[in-house]
Structure 1
Amino acid sequence: MSALAGQIEALLIASSKPVSVEALAELLPDADIAAALGELSRYWQGRGMSLVEESVGVSLLPSKTAAKALSQVGGGNGRRLTEAAVETLCFIALNQPVTVKEIEIARGVKLFKGVVDALMDAGFVRASMRKTDSGRAVTYVTTDLLLEHFGLSSVADFPTPDELEDMMLQQPEI
């Protein structure tokens, strides 16, 4: 691995957030950042880490297989979402931006305020803009943390409702 790729690797490991290509270019002027990122990506391919390029920047994260093993080592210390929270999160992800009223209509039940609060506390959802019609209700959208948690690079990577229906039909019944 080249010295430049090694420097970028160290910056990515030391950073708690994705690092933008622009920031890398400022830190390492006159360097071919794209070539170094390509080299770094090839180096980590098939190993326990992977170079993830997102709209907000570049991260060095555990690969999907390593992440699965890491989750088993953790012993379940992570946050658990209720079934209502998971349903709400799925609806927001697929239909964003949405209001609480739209979620309630889609789910057919009144939404407990704590559900959206729990999703916001987890960092998966944030309040967005207000609707311009009837009462100026707050809308909710998913965050980059949700994308990162599920290994997605953009909202476009979420399955469509038709794809979800096909997946549900393929699941064996318990």
Structure 2
Amino acid sequence: MSEEEPDTASVEAATPDAIDRALEATLFAAEEPLTVERLAAHLGGMETGRVREALRRLAEHYSTRGVHLVERARRWHFQTAPDLAHLLRREQEQVRRLSRAATEVLAIVAYHEPVSRAEIESIRGVQTSAGTLDVLMEAGWIRLAGRREVPGRPVIYATTPEFLDHFGLESRRDLPGLDELRAAGLLDPVDEAFEEAMEALGAAEEGEGDTGDESA
């Protein structure tokens, strides 16, 4: 890229079509998802509001195409349309198959993050091996999120943008219930254990909330 100063007047005078084309080219060539701020800087310091408007236009334009423009964890990128994903699958999907313990841990982190290993074990009711957490981090679905400010300062875990991308979510606020996942067709065979783990987790939480006297 050129190191020359951007032509501010040219940036301000750019038409919506020119902005759309510039963003489209930038996102297509990008090696990783980009935030609105990085895109604005790449386009010569353009106002983020204009970039957001252009991204919305592009997302709508691509909504019926073979690739979609999506936002995941405040970062934008192109991805294959969900209904065409099966055309691009390869045998390496096997590396993402998780044990029941791993799917239970993933479910707990997703719906309770950030959580420590001790908190995960408290919810599951059994010990969690470090290997289980390592598998989820190697898969790119959870990450170290700092330390809890309590005695011992235990490490805490949270989900990653890759986790959101796999389940088609823009943020954790969009985590769906099981019925929504099933209706949207987002539960492929790899995710069946995750579904079962979520059902088990929900049942466990209901049990914790039941403080009534059964003998009454």
- State the TM-score bracket (shorter-chain normalisation): 0.7 to 0.9
| 1:75 equivalenced with 2:86 (yes/no) | no
Match of 1:84 among 77, 87, 101: 101
Deviation at 1:119? Answer: 0.8
Deviation at 1:76? Answer: 4.6
CA 125–55 in structure 1, closer or farther in 2 if over 3 Å, else same? closer
Give the fraction of aligned pairs with identical amino acids, expressed as a percent. 38
**Partner Cα separation in structure 1 for residue 176 and residue 60 of structure 2:** 28
Q: Which 5+ residue runs of structure 2 have no aligned equivalent?
A: 1-15, 181-194, 200-216
Match of 1:145 among 135, 145, 162: 162
Partners of 1:54 and 1:154 within 8 A in 2: yes
Partners of 1:98 and 1:140 within 8 A in 2: yes
Q: Deviations over 1:56-99 (max 9, x none)?
A: 3211111211224323xx13544221111111000111111111
**Partner Cα separation in structure 1 for residue 179 and residue 125 of structure 2:** 20
Structure whose alpha-carbon radius of gyration is higher: 2
Equivalent runs, 1:41-60 vs 2, <5 Å: 41-60=59-78
Partners of 1:94 and 1:160 within 8 A in 2: no
Partners of 1:18 and 1:56 within 8 A in 2: no
**Partner Cα separation in structure 1 for residue 43 and residue 151 of structure 2:** 51
Deviation at 1:43? Answer: 2.1
CA 103–38 in structure 1, closer or farther in 2 if over 3 Å, else same? closer
**Partner Cα separation in structure 1 for residue 134 and residue 170 of structure 2:** 25
Q: Deviations over 1:111-154 (max 9, x none)?
A: 12100011111121111222222322111111111111211110
Name which of structure 1's ranges 120-129 and 22-31 shifts more when overlaid on structure 2: 22-31
2:171 maps to 154
TM score, norm. by length of structure 1: 0.80
CA 132–35 in structure 1, closer or farther in 2 if over 3 Å, else same? closer
